[in-house]
Every structure is written in structure tokens, then in C-alpha cells.
């Protein structure tokens, strides 16, 4: 060896990052995406307003029951989506059933009273 350094690739942790990967929100927005962002903000505001005046228990119950409907009564899948244990979900559903609230059976969605 003559003492000259052999150039080597830098480890991934020290490589410069793509400027867009570092700040994904810094990308220039397209004209259509600004409209979509405005609509999303309006929808979020409307959803927030619809929650005002309801107790947390009411909102939680509707979220659980709507998610269970979405999963066609599959408790395991609904619990995963909600981020709760299957035992917690079953306990909540037991409370709702005892209170006379319709709960979806496995393989079915709730029968709406509309």
C-alpha cells in the first residue's frame, strides 16, 4: 500500500437525505391539492362541531359501533382498528347490550332503526 485512502461509501446514517424526504410538508402544493386541503379542513371543522354537546361516552359508543358495523361484526378486526384489546371491546359491547343498545352480530352489520 502506498498510503492513499480508498474512497468508501458512507454509511446510510451519514448520507445526505433527499430534501423532500426530510420535510415532506415543504413540497410545493399543486393548485388542486389546495382546494382539497380546504375541503378537508371544512369537513374536519364540521365533524368537530357535530361532536360538541355529546359526552365522551356517547362519542366512544358510536365510534365502536360504527367500526363494528364497518367490520361486519368482526370483533377482532374492529378491536385492531380501534387500537383496543378484544377483551375491552367485548366488555364495552356487553355494557351496550345490557343497556338495550343494538350491537352487530358477527358477520352482520347493525340493523338501523331509521
Quick: pLDDT tens for 55-78.
999 999 999 999 999 999 999 999
pLDDT in tens, 25-60: 455 555 566 788 888 888 878 777 778 888 999 999
Q: Which domains, and CATH codes, for the chain?
A: 55-114 (1.10.10.60)
Total-model pTM: 0.57
* pLDDT for residue 50: 77
Instruction: Print burial letters for 46-78: b (CB count within 10 Å at least 16), e (below 16).
Output: eeeeeeeeeeeeeeebeebbebbbebebebeeb
Residue 114 has pLDDT above 50, yes or no: no
Amino acid at each position: 500500500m502506498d498510503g492513499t485512502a480508498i474512497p468508501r461509501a458512507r454509511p446510510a446514517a451519514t448520507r445526505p437525505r433527499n430534501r423532500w424526504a426530510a420535510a415532506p410538508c415543504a413540497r410545493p402544493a399543486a393548485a388542486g391539492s389546495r382546494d382539497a386541503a380546504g375541503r378537508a379542513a371544512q369537513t374536519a371543522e364540521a365533524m368537530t362541531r357535530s361532536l360538541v354537546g355529546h359526552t365522551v361516552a356517547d362519542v366512544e359508543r358510536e365510534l365502536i359501533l360504527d367500526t363494528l358495523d364497518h367490520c361486519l361484526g368482526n370483533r377482532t378486526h374492529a378491536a385492531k382498528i380501534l387500537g383496543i384489546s378484544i377483551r375491552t371491546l367485548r366488555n364495552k359491547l356487553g355494557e351496550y347490550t345490557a343497556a338495550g343498545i343494538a350491537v352487530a352480530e358477527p358477520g352482520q352489520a347493525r340493523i338501523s332503526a331509521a
